[in-house]
Amino acid sequence: MSTMAFVILGLLLLRPMSLYDLVRAFEAGVSLFYSASSGSLKRALDGLLREGHVEVEDATGGRGRKVYHVTPAGLESFRTWMTSELTGGGTETAALSRLFFLGLLEPAERSTVSEHIEARIRTDLARLEELSALVDQQDIPDELADVARYQRQTLDYGLATTRFALDWFRTRDA
Angle at 82 between CA 92 and CA 125, to 5 degrees: 35
Q: What integer is the mean pLDDT of 107-111? A: 91
Lowest mean pLDDT among 11-15, 34-38, 107-111, 134-138: 34-38
Assign 60 to helix, strand or coil. Answer: strand
91 phi and psi, to 5 degrees? -55, -45
Cα 134 to chain centroid distance, Å, stands at 30
Per-residue confidence (pLDDT) for residue 60, from 0 to 100 = 62
What are the tens digits of pLDDT across the range 37-88? Answer: 889 999 999 999 999 999 998 666 656 689 999 999 999 999 999 999 998 7
Q: What integer is the mean pLDDT of 13-24? A: 93
3-state secondary structure 113-160: HHHHHHHHHHHHHHHHHHHHHHHHCCCCCHHHHHHHHHHHHHHHHHHH
Half-sphere exposure of residue 163: CA atoms within 13 angstroms, side-chain side: 8
Question: In angstroms, how far is the first alpha carbon of the chain from the final one?
Answer: 27
Burial environment of residue 129 by CB neighbours within 10 A (0 to 12, 13 to 18, 19 or more): middle
What are the tens digits of pLDDT across the range 140-149? Answer: 999 999 999 9
